[in-house]
Amino acid sequence: MRLNLPKERIFFAKPPIWKRFLAFLIDLSIINLVVATPFRNILAQLVPQSQSYREAYNYIMLNPGVSYSLYVVTFLIAFLALIYFTILEWALGQTIGKKLLGLWVVQDLGDKSISKLTSPGFWQCLLRHLIIIPITPFLLLWIVDPIISVFSKKQQRLSEMISRTKVLAEYRG
Amino acid sequence: MKNEGQGKNWIFAIGVLVILALFSLFFALVLGSLFVPSEPLSLSGNVARIYVTGEILPDGSSSIFGSSGASSQDIVDLIKKADENKEIKALLIEINSPGGAAVASEDIVKAIKKSKKPSVALIKDTGASGAYWVASATDVIVADPISITGSIGVLSSYLEFSGLMNKYGVGYERIVGGEYKDIGTPFRNLTDEERQLLQEQIDVVYDYFVKEVAANRNMSEEQMKGIATGMIYTGIRAKQLGLVDVLGGEDEAEEAIKQKANLTDVQIVDYKKKRTLIDVLTETLSRQSYTVGQGIGDSLVSKADQNLGVRT
Please enumerate in sequence order all residues whose Cβ is within 8 A of that of A76, keeping only pairs 6 or more positions apart, or say none: A39, B24, B27, B31
CB contact under 8 Å between B24 and A37, yes or no, is yes
| Chain B contact present for A119, CB below 8 A | yes
Q: DSSP state, A107? A: E
Taking the C-alpha atoms of residue B254 and residue A86, their distance in angstroms, rounded to an integer, is 50
CB A165 within 8 A of CB A105: yes
- Please tell me the distance from the alpha carbon of residue B100 to that of residue B53, in angstroms, as a whole number: 11
Q: Which of B212, B159, B216, B146 is nearest to B189 (CA)?
A: B159
pLDDT given for residue A112 in this prediction:
56
Regions in chain B scoring below 70 on pLDDT: 1-5, 35-44, 59-68, 274-311
Residue contact A39–B24, C-beta within 8 A: yes
Q: Which residue does chain A place closest to B42, by CA atoms?
A: A48
Residue of chain B whose alpha carbon sits nearest to that of A30: B17
Q: Does the beta carbon of A37 lie under 8 angstroms from any beta carbon of chain B?
A: yes
Helices A64-92 + A53-62 axis angle, to 10: 110
- Residue B129 falls in the annotated catalytic set: yes
Closest CA to B143 of B38, B242, B46, B72: B242
CA distance B135 to B118: 13
For residue B44, list chain A residues with Cβ-Cβ distance below 8 A.
59
What is the predicted pLDDT for the residue at B255? 94
Q: What is the structure's pLDDT at B281?
A: 47
Q: Crossing angle, helix B277-300 and helix A136-151, to 10 degrees?
A: 130
C-alpha to C-alpha distance for B197 and B131, rounded to whole angstroms: 27
Give the pLDDT confidence score for residue B303 in this predicted structure.
44
The Cα–Cα gap between B217 and B219 comes to 5
Picking from B18, B31, B267 by the largest number of A CB atoms within 10 A of its own CB, the best residue to mutate is B31
Q: For chain A, percent helix, then strand, then coil, each to nearest 5?
A: 60, 10, 30
Q: Does A28 touch chain B (CB under 8 A)?
A: no
State residue B142's pLDDT score: 96
Strand partners, B150: B128, B232
Sign of CA pseudo-dihedral B9, B15, B21, B27 = negative
Q: Is A26 on the interface with B (CB under 8 A)?
A: no
Which pLDDT tens digit goes with each residue over A125-155? 999 999 998 887 777 788 888 888 888 888 8
Across the interface, whether the CB atoms of A42 and B17 are under 8 A apart is answered: no
First-last CA distance in chain A: 22
B33 in contact with A at a CB cutoff of 8 Å?
Answer: no
Predicted complex ipTM: 0.79
Q: What does the pLDDT read at residue A84?
A: 95
Mutate to test the interface with B, among A10, A41, A49, A92 (most CBs of B within 10 A): A92
The nearest alpha carbon in chain B to A83 belongs to B20
pLDDT for position B137: 95
Which regions of chain A are under pLDDT 70? 1, 5-6, 48-52, 62, 111-116, 173
Which of B4, B6, B17 is the best residue to mutate to test the A interface, defined by the most A CB atoms within 10 Å of its own CB? B17
B181 labelled catalytic: yes
Q: What 8-state DSSP symbol labels residue A132?
A: G
Q: Which residues of B touch A58 (CB under 8 A)?
A: 43, 274
B25 interface with A at CB cutoff 8 Å: yes
Q: What is the Cα–Cα distance from A158 to A123, expressed in whole angstroms?
A: 16
Coil, strand or helix at A103 = strand
In DSSP notation, chain B reads ---S-HHHHHHHHHHHHHHHHHHHHHHHHHHHHHHS-SSPP-SS-SEEEEEEESSEE-TT--BTTB-SSEEHHHHHHHHHHHHH-TT--EEEEEEEE--BBHHHHHHHHHHHHH-SS-EEEEEEEEEETHHHHHHHTSSEEEE-TT-EEE----B------HHHHHHTT-------SSTTTTTT-TTSPPPHHHHHHHHHHHHHHHHHHHHHHHHHTT--HHHHHHH-SS-EEEHHHHHHHTS-SEE--HHHHHHHHHHHHT-SS--EEEE-----HHHHHHHHHHHHHHHHHHHHHHHH--GGGS----B-
In this complex, is the C-beta atom of B21 within 8 Å of any C-beta atom belonging to chain A?
A: yes
The verdict on A107 touching B (C-beta cutoff 8 Å) is no
| Residue B277: per-residue pLDDT | 46
Of the partner residues B35, B269, B272, the one whose CB lies closest to the CB of residue A42: B35
Buried b (16+ CB within 10 A) or exposed e, A146-158: bebbeeeeebbbb
Residue B67 pLDDT:
52
**Catalytic annotation, pick one of B71, B72, B115, B129:** B129
Q: What's the pLDDT at A59?
A: 72
